[in-house]
Structure 1
Amino acid sequence: MLMEFTDVEPDADCVCGGCASRRRARLHAARIEDGGHRSARGARRAAVLVAAVGSVLGGAGGATAAPAPQPNSGTPIPDTPQGGVSGLHGESTTAPRLRAAQPATTRAEIMQRAQRWVDQQVPYSMSRYWSDGYRQDCSGFVSMAWNLGSSQTTWTLPNFADRISKDDLQPGDALIYNNPANPESGSHVVLFGGWTDSSRTRYVALEQTRPATTKRSTPYAYWSNSGSYLPYRYRGLSQPMPVPDAFPGTDKFGPGKVNPYVTRLGEMLVQRGGGRFYREGPSPDWGEADRRATEAFQLAQGWRGAEADGIPGKDTWDYLVNHRGKDIPPAAAGTSPPAPSTTTPPAPPAPPAPAGFPGADRFRPGQVNDFVRLLGEQLVRKGYGRYYTEGPSPDWGEADRRNVEAFQRAQGWSGAEADGYPGPDTWKLLFG
């Protein structure tokens, strides 16, 4: 006999705790197509129907039960498609998308807002908006935590932040991965909640992922695509970390370093006559301009050899902080660096042909090696150097990636084949 049981829904004006809880659950439940679940009544009805039909078929001789779903024991990979830039509750927005003054907030407030979603277990959705107005996907979650007043995307969140290094990560900062092959569905962002071990191999990640907001220990930088996540700090912090006058150590300066000490060094060098070395900045990213300006200041003090290598030591820092010594002299006539140009820089002499593709790991954020320089010089020689404002240099940067992407697209490639990172085929076409 086939039977169906029906739950009785409570009256809308019932004030008991159970009814109120069920009404809240229905109000904020995700749609089934967004990863939500059927209502309790629908689930029970389906279960009863299946059980009844199963008993009838079993009595007739022969249906086998479907195997129970197995838990996912593999590495968690975010399934987090995101919506576009939008205002609160999905309204159109004129929120700034370029570098501009941002609403002030503190780290404590960022973490409190993020924890609120964790506590409420906000369901994941790329199209729905929570009661505070923010879209219920990964980028909407960080937009909410940073109190941006609009829901951004993983591609626009960096416009509200500054790049930092792994060593400078603090609670409230973000780790962003943008997948050029699938910008909407392949990208992800998490909020950094603090290190869980002294070796800094795991951290607390607060993130919006299916089925709902979670807070968990995570390997740095993430379960998948670990090497492509970049750390950012919200620019509107009202209590930014001060840069002390004490010398931070030579390990804060040099290729691949990204931290506030590099910015302060550049600012002090500009005050001492080093502005001509910077075409843009100073910024937290160490670059050739920082090295040349530092070297010029050291030479102005009469230092030579290892004392004028372009890397600030304790004496260089002390002279700059306390405004001691001589300023950087103006460039001699005819020796000023060329003005910024939008044209492709001239091609350098041809380098020796490399023996073969050195490996994809040579061309990633933070990598500094001669293969990066050789790649950049060959791109310029082939006519794909328009994104360089200085260099090419041994430091892998966004200009390298964009020039490689332009070359790949010129070959008719697209998607993952034109992600801006050279592989064996790209290398062969460039140097073959």
Structure 2
Amino acid sequence: MLSAATADVGYKEGSSNDTKHGRWYGLNFNPWCDMAVSYWAQQSGNAGAVGKFAYCPSHVNWFRSRGQWVSKNAPAKRGDIVFYSWDGGPLADHVGIVTADSAPGQSLATIEGNTSSGNAGSQGNGDGCYRRVRPRTYVLGFGRPAYSGSSTGGGSSPSRARVTIGGLSYGYGAEGDHVTRVGRALVAKGFGSHYAEGPGPVWSDADTLNYAAFQRSLGYSGSDADGVPGPDSLARLLGSTPGAQTYAPFPGAAWFKSSPRSPLVTAMGRRLVAEGCSAYSEGPGPQWADADRQSYAKWQRKQGFGGADADGWPGAKTWDALRVPAV
């Protein structure tokens, strides 16, 4: 989170609050301090922990509702989201991120967007992103994100992978109306608990976590339930689409280990050859053989898997990505 914020230090807005943060959020030409914080969270994989907001009071309420609001008189911690009220009132006017621990009463080292480089100029609607040192005078309080837990729903980070299905990109950072459609379909099926706002139009960790829950409901597990769509699970989420049912569903890992003889094995082999993953000296044919397993291992490695995850035994995720025609 701090690395993402640091990368923006010195960033200058265009005319009338024209910023990359506003364009990303979908509210360009508006004050953008909280959009910058949300952008840094999204860029660093912390969207679930930090939230996605453009209006500071709503962001404060979100932290309060999660039991993550800290008094302005408390010790500040590196990574805290600090909210300011310039007039001392109950509503937040500005926001930034704390870059170093600070004892009660001590000044704060921060990075803030939409501020000025010094005390001259607007503090809450300035011209860029700057490092600041501020007294506690104007601090309203702190949001304290659970970086190690709430952004992931577990002990490991959400997948940052991205796939292309039907010419459209899905997975972390993908953007478009189709991402919103996936999110709305997840919510409709009861898999929207990780959204703070939204869904869409930018694929975030919340989408990945919700999609992983949907995959588990279909019987996927392990790396096959990593929250990155495959053609089969996507078709089952969105309903039948033209061509969606032309692909064979994953028959299960045990099926391959039973040494099957089936036209499906031939169809799989032909797709592996087409993907440049052939270990065949002849064929492929209908009888599962070691050449099929070696070829599939090449496909797994091409998909980014390694070690035991590239042992040549098909899994649901790589099977979906291979798009084997139904036979």
Name the TM-score, length of structure 2 as normaliser: 0.31
Greater gyration radius? 1
Higher relative contact order (CA 8 A, sep 6+): 2
